[in-house]
Structure 1
Amino acid sequence: MITHFFILSSRGDKIIARNYRYDIFDEVEDLFFRNVRNESTSNFGKPIFNQQGINFFHVRKSGLYIVCTSRENVSPITIFELLERACILIRDFTGQLSEDSIRKNFVLVYELLDELFDWGKVQTTQTNILTYCVYNEPIETVDVPTTNGLLNIAFTDPKTVKSTATCLPITKKNDQIFVDVLERVNCEMNSNGELLRSEIIGSLVVKSYLMGTPLIRIALNQDLAIGVENSTYSAIRVDAINFNEIINRDEFEHGRQLSFYPQDGELTLLSYRVTNNFNVVMPFRITPSVTKTGDYKIEAAIRVRSDFPNSTSATGVFIRIPVPKNTVSCGISVGNDKDSQQTYEYKEKDKVVVWGLKKFQGATEQLIRLKINISEPCKIDERKLIGPVTMKFEIPMHNMSGLQLRYLKIGSDSLNDDKKPKQKRWVRYVTQAGSYSGRVAM
């Protein structure tokens, strides 16, 4: 049971707020924002914390804080699942989860929340049920590229969306279906660029705008193996798969086929995990080099190599390089200072260098050099003072695990059936960075 549900912008502006039980004071939004953004507080950056007897739960999505509060001892997993479902519902009904979209559709969002909660208790989170309860028409919005900090590079989230088709509300039926294979890669490398550990977290997500509810069949790799004991060297191996309850497991076991009737809104058919598969080549290799040039001077060269095909490019690449805490100044140079596709910045307050590349082509290499002046003589291994180097990126139409769709069939159609109009099918593969880091010290 919850008391408050509210959405704040990254600046702390109140966008949406509902008080369901009135057992908590109304200034709770300010209390939350002060605690979650102030680095001096013990609750800084925590997804769940207690302040003044109030339990706060929140997730960050698209630069927004989506928050629930409760005075009761509720299950955190249940609340976080509820917050995730609320984000999906808002995106389903408004077309996208963004500050502009929510502000323009605030009446619709409030109506949705009133159907979602009754006196703080959850009624339903099913999109197909709420479709018959929400009557306001959505106002469509278009993503506008935003600039990230002082780095003069514009990035749009997500980078792989080339049209506004997937940002349509579910009420706009246009007889097409989107299937996304989304993978988030976590890895850690040593100072030589060798892999220490790796993990791929993937999901197969469907969003349907089809007329009616025809049977959909999606076939995956025939050699897909689940678990190490069932795999061969050439097989596509995943350690574990979690299926949506609408999937027939027996049919998948026999033919690696997923059959289901689409629901309104976004649907995750399955999620999977691949851990420490050293046959998988990581998309980027980080190789740092650090040299002490004087008692007060350190030079570092960070080389980043893209190990994916040259026909593909990563977008929105950000590389963070922590420098010593006693750094006085930091000179920076990159391979081509005149290249408008990349920029850099030394953030003195955080003692970190942020290197941004708008586009990073496959099978290429980029280099950044740092000349660091420190206030005290360096008495330990200089490599221990720098790093680890971390990366954020997105690679469209690239797949790490090798999971592929063999076909996507709708209704009774076949590959040779050309007598009736075909529904539009869109399949995308996206790889994103999770916790992606490279050590500088051994």
Structure 2
Amino acid sequence: MTISCVALFAQEARGNKYIALKDYRREVTAKEVQRFVDEVLSGRRDGPKSTSQVSPVVHHDGVSYVWKRASGKSNVLAVAATRWDANVLAMQETLHQLLDLLKMFCPGGNIVSNALSLPTNSALKADALREKPALVLSILEEVADFGYPQVTQAESLCDLVLDTPSLEGKTVNTLDALLRRRKKDAAEDSSAGAATLGVTGAVPWRKHGIVYKKNEVYLDAIERVSALVGADGSLISGRVNGSIQMKVYLSGMPECKIGLNDKFMMEAESGFQQATSTALEGRPTSVAQKACRSQVALDYIKFHQAVKLQHYESDHQVHFVPPDGEFELLSYTVSDTKNFTLPFTVTSWYKSLGRTRGELNVKIRADFPSSLVAFQVITWIPLPKSTVKVNMQATGGKTKSKYVDLAKNQTHWKLSELRGGKEHKFKAIIETMAGTQLSGSSPTKDWEKAVPPIKLTFQVPMFTSTGLRIRFLKVHEKSGYQPVKWVRYLTCAGDDYEVRVSH
């Protein structure tokens, strides 16, 4: 894969404005990139349109362009251009990592406040990049060499780019600010070849000579459940986006091994032939195994580059030398509703009590063991636009009048805690304005024809919808120390966890 150049632009009211450009191969000029941005991304050629309507890969005037916008409420665009038959997915991933690096090195405040979790704007902003032009160009210089992706690890970049942020008048090393608790060897700091070894070594994501007083490993298995639930509580459609997040504070060069309760196999082995796919998929071998969730069928799984895939394919265990600090070990997606369960059964119904009154009922039951407790279970309930008053009652939780938001046409019912196996009910009497004689209809009846769905948010610690479990976490280092290991699970609602209302 070869990238001719990478450019950064700011999305502004008057169009996309140039921030920085790095030309790796002198094959695509800056004018050509600017013309693509003006004509395609800014819509001057085919009329005004938003970037969401433009394909992420565009062939324009003999040049292939791959572009990506930074996540969140960011106004930064990254554009990569090439004249070669390149792997566009790899180019997309390179831009994704580049934007993450820029967000880390050029946060809203400074890199120290970002590392110490001080309140800052989490989205990458163009103004933050304009304030540090030399740093941005240094990162673009190191990320790729002659168009080939080279350094995309923050730890390695810290030794290659020149930037020493300060906090309260004290100069702080960037790497120390990111990793906070590292103790660096003075000899390693003074070694001229340390940075080169970190980039070109067998494990460029981890540096040699890391020492901690207390060796600890934190592993979090997090699953975000998105679902569309029928009024009777049945699951219509849904998916689970899961990930294993780790925080590693270990000395030396440890080798870690994680055993999962899942048994995965390549898609080709499961009967689905697709030569270009890198996803792994598992299938339950029996109804009994499927019922007890001893296997989890995954649609997609993505590993961190530190994972040794050859070991995973042979023994289905995750072997890796971990990066220092925080990182995502793997992520996966499950879209077959038969392969995961919802933590709650929610049913709802609405009935009219007249031209200006209606009653909405919600019942929620926790479908997990009584030893577990869900927190911040909030049911977001829609209201008609003509609502003037809402009277709420519930068998548990909070139903305060301040929860009613007539401006947003919604109210909510909050359960701070909900133990497994418990059930609670909610009832709301909704009063609306009477319809005018000219309209000849009742606002309540019009709303009944298309009642918006109820939305649910929640957090359930020590529970996973897919049944994912960490069987073991082993750490081996030649010095023989015994680290402290922590394993946690969390299931929470995705962006679209909705329940239809019967009427």
Q: Give the TM-score normalised by structure 2.
A: 0.60
| Aligned pair partner of 2:403 in 341, 344, 349 | 344
| Aligned pair partner of 1:367 in 404, 423, 426 | 426
* Residue-by-residue CA offset, 1:307-363 (whole Å, 9 max, x unaligned): 334554445555443444xx2224334447994999623243xx5314264834333
Alignment of 1:81 with 2:89, yes or no, is no
CA–CA separation in structure 2 for the residues paired with 1:6 and 1:315 = 42
Taking a change above 3 Å as real, the CA distance of residues 328 and 204 of structure 1, as seen in their structure-2 partners, is: same
| Aligned pair partner of 2:332 in 264, 272, 287 | 272
* Residue-by-residue CA offset, 1:129-152 (whole Å, 9 max, x unaligned): 3233134356689xxxxxxxxxxx
CA–CA separation in structure 1 for the residues paired with 2:49 and 2:374 = 36
Matched position secondary structure for 1:294: coil
| Aligned pair partner of 1:129 in 156, 163, 172 | 156
Does structure 1 retain, via aligned residues, the 8 Å contact 2:78–2:99? Answer: no
Does structure 2 retain, via aligned residues, the 8 Å contact 1:341–1:358? Answer: no
Alignment of 1:99 with 2:121, yes or no, is yes
Q: Identify the residue that residue 197 of structure 1 maps to in structure 2.
A: 237
CA–CA separation in structure 2 for the residues paired with 1:46 and 1:322 = 30
Deviation at 1:235, TM superposition (A): 4.0
Q: Identify the residue that residue 5 of structure 1 maps to in structure 2.
A: 8
Paired amino acid for 2:476:
G
Paired amino acid for 1:133:
L
CA–CA separation in structure 1 for the residues paired with 2:458 and 2:487 = 20
Which 5+ residue runs of structure 2 have no aligned equivalent? 13-17, 23-28, 43-47, 106-110, 169-175, 183-211, 266-280, 436-440
Q: Give the TM-score normalised by structure 1.
A: 0.67
Taking a change above 3 Å as real, the CA distance of residues 88 and 318 of structure 1, as seen in their structure-2 partners, is: farther
Deviation at 1:381, TM superposition (A): 8.0
Deviation at 1:370, TM superposition (A): 4.7
Identity percentage of aligned residues: 22
Paired amino acid for 1:134:
V
Alignment of 1:388 with 2:453, yes or no, is yes
* Residue-by-residue CA offset, 1:62-113 (whole Å, 9 max, x unaligned): x655533579999985665345424543576645585279899975974545
Matched position secondary structure for 1:131: helix
More strand by share: 1
Taking a change above 3 Å as real, the CA distance of residues 207 and 83 of structure 1, as seen in their structure-2 partners, is: farther
Does structure 2 retain, via aligned residues, the 8 Å contact 1:239–1:272? Answer: no
Deviation at 1:407, TM superposition (A): 2.0
Matched position secondary structure for 1:401: coil
Paired amino acid for 1:437:
E
Q: How does 1:46-125 map to 2 (within 5 A)?
A: 57-61=68-72, 64=74, 66-68=76-78, 81-82=93-94, 84-86=96-98, 88-89=100-101, 94=111, 96=115, 98-99=120-121, 110=136, 112=139, 115-116=142-143, 124-125=151-152
Taking a change above 3 Å as real, the CA distance of residues 335 and 378 of structure 1, as seen in their structure-2 partners, is: closer
Does structure 2 retain, via aligned residues, the 8 Å contact 1:342–1:356? Answer: no
Deviates more, 1:104-113 or 1:223-232: 104-113
| Aligned pair partner of 2:492 in 429, 432, 442 | 432
Larger radius of gyration: 2
Matched position secondary structure for 1:263: coil
CA–CA separation in structure 2 for the residues paired with 1:338 and 1:271 = 34
CA–CA separation in structure 1 for the residues paired with 2:445 and 2:241 = 38
Which 5+ residue runs of structure 1 have no aligned equivalent? 10-15, 34-40, 142-166, 414-418
CA–CA separation in structure 1 for the residues paired with 2:156 and 2:405 = 51
Matched position secondary structure for 1:236: coil
Aligned residues: CA RMSD: 5.1
Deviation at 1:190, TM superposition (A): 0.7
Q: Identify the residue that residue 260 of structure 2 maps to in structure 1.
A: 220
* Residue-by-residue CA offset, 1:162-214 (whole Å, 9 max, x unaligned): xxxxx971364244333221211122211111222332221223343322321
Q: Identify the residue that residue 359 of structure 2 maps to in structure 1.
A: 299
Alignment: residue pair count: 395
Structure number with higher relative contact order (C-alpha < 8 Å, ≥ 6 residues apart)? 1
Q: How does 1:231-242 map to 2 (within 5 A)?
A: 231=286, 232=289, 233-240=291-298, 242=301
